[in-house]
Amino acid sequence: MEDASAKYAGDPEYRKFLIGKLKETAGRLFTEDNLLVAYTADEEGYGYLPVELKTFKNNLFKGTGKRYRYHFELKNRNEGFKTASQVNYVARCGTFAGKKGRDGRELSYTGALKVLTVILNYEYLWTNLRVKGGAYGCMSSFGQSGSGYLVSYRDPNLAATNKIYEGIPEYLRNFSVDERDMTKYVIGTISNTDTPLTPSLKGMRNVSAYLSGMRDEMVQTERNQILDVTQEDIRGWRI
């Protein structure tokens, strides 16, 4: 298929059309009513904000106040992404929102998933993908929204890595460690949750919490669930 950008690159009318569309998009996005400011400073630094912010806002488009919402269509996809990079990633992603576990109960986010992430990243995935499989690294994560992913990178395998991912339910079915190891997993998890932060990182955390609707009581609930996690909680995450 002929590259559309190459086909139209020399067409002055197309360039004019493209510029017009970009300006139209900028006029809808970069407006005063779309502005969200996250600013972290001491009292002296904060004193500079009102004047500078007013100057910045005066250079934005006025806007109409209309919101353009994106509706994400949930469905299974079989896609491949080709890049010029020579680094191979093997990933599985999806959602557990609305799904039921082996015990028939609907799955919902809990702090136990933070502990499960540590167990997968530093035991199951690390041993099978990094140590045995030769991948440069691996990671997993499970979010409050129900989304989750398993990823390897600089991975020389594809089919073998997918089989490792598919083996996770069986690994969880047989998950059993002594109390000392379970305590280590909890300590590793809580240390990531309650890491001391610089003022800049606190500001980033706060704006992220604001945008995602995370409240202090939700953080405390997650913390309690991490501290109270049991091995049965981990085994229960078999879909």
Question: What is the tens place of the pLDDT at every residue in 179-204?
Answer: 999 999 999 999 888 888 999 999 99
Whole-number pLDDT of residue 1: 41
Tens digit of pLDDT for each residue in 31-47? 988 889 999 999 999 99
In a domain, 121, yes or no: yes
Are 107 and 99 a contacting pair, CB within 8 Å? yes
Task: Write the secondary structure of 142-188 as one string of H (helix), E (strand) and C (coil).
Answer: ECCCCEEEEEEECCCCCHHHHHHHHCHHHHHHCCCCCHHHHHHHHHH
In a domain, 7, yes or no: no
Average pLDDT, the chain: 88
Whole-number pLDDT of residue 4: 53
Task: Give pTM, 2 decimals.
Answer: 0.76
Q: State the total domains in the chain.
A: 1
CATH number for position 191: 3.30.830.10
Range of the domain at 217: 89-235
Higher pLDDT residue, 178 or 74? 178
Q: What is the largest CA-CA distance in the chain?
A: 71
In a domain, 49, yes or no: no
In a domain, 26, yes or no: no
Unique residue bearing structure tokens 């300590």 = 187
In a domain, 174, yes or no: yes
In a domain, 18, yes or no: no
| Single-letter code of the amino acid located at 173 | R
In a domain, 113, yes or no: yes
Are 63 and 33 a contacting pair, CB within 8 Å? yes
Q: What percent of the chain has pLDDT over 70?
A: 94
In a domain, 213, yes or no: yes
